Amino acid sequence: MKTLKALFVLMMLSSLVLAGDGNNHFFQKTDQFLKTYVKSGKVNYSKIRSNGGTQLAELVKIIATTDAASIQDATEKKAFWINAYNIIVIKSVIDNYPLKSPLDVNGFFDKKKHDIGGESLTLNDLEHKRLRKEYAYDARLHFVLVCAALGCPVLIEDAYTTVNVDELLEERTRIALNSTQHVRVDAEKKKVYVSELFKWYRDDFVQGGISEIEYLNKFRKQAVPTDYSLDYIRYDWTLNELTSASQSTLFTSPTRDNLQAYTPSTLLRRGQFEIKQFNNLYTQTASFNDQRQAIDQNRRSTFFTGITNVLFGINTRLNVGFDVYFRSVRNDATGSSPFALFEFASGNDARSAISQVGPKIKVNPFASIPNLSVQSAVLFPLADDLDGNEDPNSPFLDFDDMQWFTQLFYDKTLSRNSLLYFESGVFFRFGSEFEDFFTPLKAIYSYFPTAKATIYANSEFTPFWDGGSINAYFGQLGLGGKYQLLDSLEIELLYTDFLFGKNQGAGQTYNIGFRIIR
C-alpha cells in the first residue's frame, strides 16, 4: 500500500512539473544541442553537418509536431517560439551550407516556409506575427532572436525555458546595450551609434513616448546624454560560424570598425556598396630598351590615371559595378616637375580626357573558399584618337579600342597582424597595334600595427605577350600604407619604383586613394 501511495505521489508531482513546463523535453534537447554546437555566440555548422544533424532533425521534428495553440501558459509559449526561431535559423543554414551569409539564400527569412507549432510559417511570420504581435512588441525580443549573422545579438548556449525566459530577456538586452557591438558612444561628436535594429524596429523601442536613447538608458550602466544625436552601426550579415580561425584572426568577420577585412578578395554583402577613387601619377625620364638597359630619353613623360570604381553587393558571392577612367599626359623637359601635369594643359605635349568607362562583375566561384574571387570588366573608349595615331602632334593617352580585364584575387592570413595577398590577371586590348595582351602578377604583404592602420609592401611583374612570346615586361616594388579615417572611409598612399624591364618605362609612381564602404 505504501508503495502504491509513493507511486501515486510521484505521478502527481510529475504531472505538476509537466503542466508547469509542457515543453520541458524540447527545452532540454535544445539546451543540449546549443551546448554542443555553440561557443562564444558562434555556431559550429560544419560539426553539425559532419555529425549527421540527428540532434537538429529531432528538434525540428518536435517544433513541427508541437501544437502551439494548445500551450496555455503565455511564458511557456514565448520560450517555445524563441527557441523555435533560433533552431529553424540554424536548420536553414545547414540546408544551404556552405554559405557566407543568410542573405545569400533567396527568401531565407520571408519566403521559405517551415512547419512550426502546427502551422506553416516563414521566419518573418514567426518573428512578427507570433512573437512581436502576441507579446506587445516587446523590444527585448530583438536581443534573443538570432538570425545567423554576426550583427545579430549573441546566440547563447542555453535554451529559453518557462523558468528563465523573462529573466534572460532582461539580461540579454542589458548585455547587448552595454556592448560596443550594438552601442558605441562618441563623446567628442556628441553622438551615439546603435544597431540598425533600432532603425528597422524603431516603433518597438519608442513605445510609451520615450526616445531611443531613453530606452538605451533603461539598461546601460553608463547613461547616454539625451541631447546626443543618433546614428546607426551597419548590420554585419556575415555568417556567425565557428571556425578554427574565427577566434584568432580579423579577416573571417569583417566589421564596420575594420576596413582592413575588405581586401580585393572579399565580396560585399547584399546592400553594401564600395566607392573607390585611386589616383596614379607615373613619371619617367628613362626607359628600358630591348636589351633591358635603362636609357635616358632626354625628356620627362608623366601620366596621370584617375580610376573611379563603384561596386554593389548583390550577395556575398556576386557583386556588380562599373569603372570610369580619367587620364592625362604631359611631356616636358627632364628637369621639370612631374606635378606640373596637374595644370592639365592642352596642346602638342599635353592633353586630358575621360578615356574609358565600362561595367564589371565580381564573383566568389567557390563558397568553400571565401577569400578567393574573380573580377571581369569591359572598358569602352569615350574619346577620339586616344592613342594619337591620327594626329602625330597628339601624345598617347590611352588605347582606342575595347579592353577586357579579368583578374583573380586571393589572400592568405599569416597571423592576426599580417596577411599575404596575390593577384593575377589577363588584360586584352582588342584591335590595338600594341601587344595582344598582358598578364600582371602581384604579391602584397600587409602588416597591421593597429586595427585602423595598414603598412604594406607591393611587388609586381607584368609580361606583355605578342602571340606566344613575351616581347616586353616590367618589374616594380613599392611601399604603401592605409588608414581608416572614419567608420567607412579609408585613405591610401603608395610609392613604387620600376626596377627592371624590357621595352617598358623605367619610372616611378605616386599614388593616393580613397575608399568608402557602407
How crowded is the C-beta side of 395, counted as CA atoms within 13 Å?
Answer: 20
Residue 472's pLDDT band (cuts 50, 70, 90): very high
C-alpha triplet 197, 201, 205: angle, nearest 5°:
95
Provide the terminal-to-terminal Cα distance of the chain, rounded to the nearest Å: 75
Contacts of residue 135, defined as CB under 8 A and 6 or more positions apart, other chains included, come to: 74, 78, 141
Q: What is the pLDDT of residue 507?
A: 96
pLDDT digits (tens, 9 = 90+) for 12-44: 333 333 334 457 889 999 999 999 999 888 999
- Each domain of the chain, given as residue ranges in start order, spans 2-233, 259-517
For 475-486, the DSSP string reads EEEEEEEEEEEE
Is the pLDDT score of 10 beyond 50? no
Residue 432's pLDDT band (cuts 50, 70, 90): low
Q: Which phi and psi (to 5°) does residue 433 adopt?
A: -80, -5
CATH T-level topology, domain 259-517: Porin (2.40.160)
Q: What is the pLDDT of residue 257?
A: 39
**Which whole number is the average pLDDT over 387-410?**
85
Q: What is the pLDDT of residue 415?
A: 76
Judge if pTM exceeds 0.85.
no
- Say if strands 350-363 and 318-332 run parallel, antiparallel, or are unpaired: antiparallel
C-alpha triplet 475, 479, 483: angle, nearest 5°:
140
Instruction: Provide the mean pLDDT of the chain.
Output: 88
Is the pLDDT score of 251 beyond 70? no
Higher pLDDT, 231 or 368: 231
Q: Which of 109, 151, 101, 103 is nearest to 128 (CA)?
A: 109
For 221-279, the DSSP string reads SSPPPTTSEEEEEPP--SB-B--SSTTT-STTS-BTTBGGG--TTPPPPTT-EEEEEEE
Cβ atoms of 359 and 402 closer than 8 Å: no
Residue 199's pLDDT band (cuts 50, 70, 90): very high
Residue 247's pLDDT band (cuts 50, 70, 90): very low
Q: Which of 99, 98, 92, 131 is nearest to 113 (CA)?
A: 92
State how far the Cα of 313 lies from the Cα of 362, in Å rounded to an integer: 9
State how far the Cα of 408 lies from the Cα of 426, in Å rounded to an integer: 9
